[in-house]
Amino acid sequence: MIHPLLKCAEHVVHNRKFPKSCCSKLIDTGPDCHVALVEGENHFFKDNKKGHEQKRITVRGDELWNKCEKLVPPSEDKDYPRLPERRYRPNYREFLEGCARKVTEKCAKEVVYSIFEKRKEVDKKCCMRLVNMGKECHDALVEALDNLGKYEKKRKEVKENSGRVWKHCEEIVKN
The residue extents of the domains of the chain are 4-83, 98-174
Q: What is the pLDDT of residues 10-21, one digit of tens each?
A: 776 676 777 888
What's the predicted TM-score (pTM) here?
0.59
pLDDT at res. 164:
93
Q: Average pLDDT for residues 97-103, to the nearest whole number? A: 90
Q: Average pLDDT for residues 86-94, to the nearest whole number? A: 78
Question: Is the model's pLDDT at 96 over the cut of 80?
Answer: yes
Nearest alpha carbon to residue 131 among 94, 87, 175, 97: 175
CB 5, CB 53: distance < 8 Å:
no
Highest mean pLDDT among 45-49, 56-60, 141-145, 160-164: 160-164
Question: Is the model's pLDDT at 136 over the cut of 80?
Answer: yes
Query: Chain-wide mean pLDDT for the chain?
Result: 80
> How many residues can be counted in the chain?
175
- C-alpha 131 chain-centroid distance: 12
- C-alpha 14 chain-centroid distance: 22
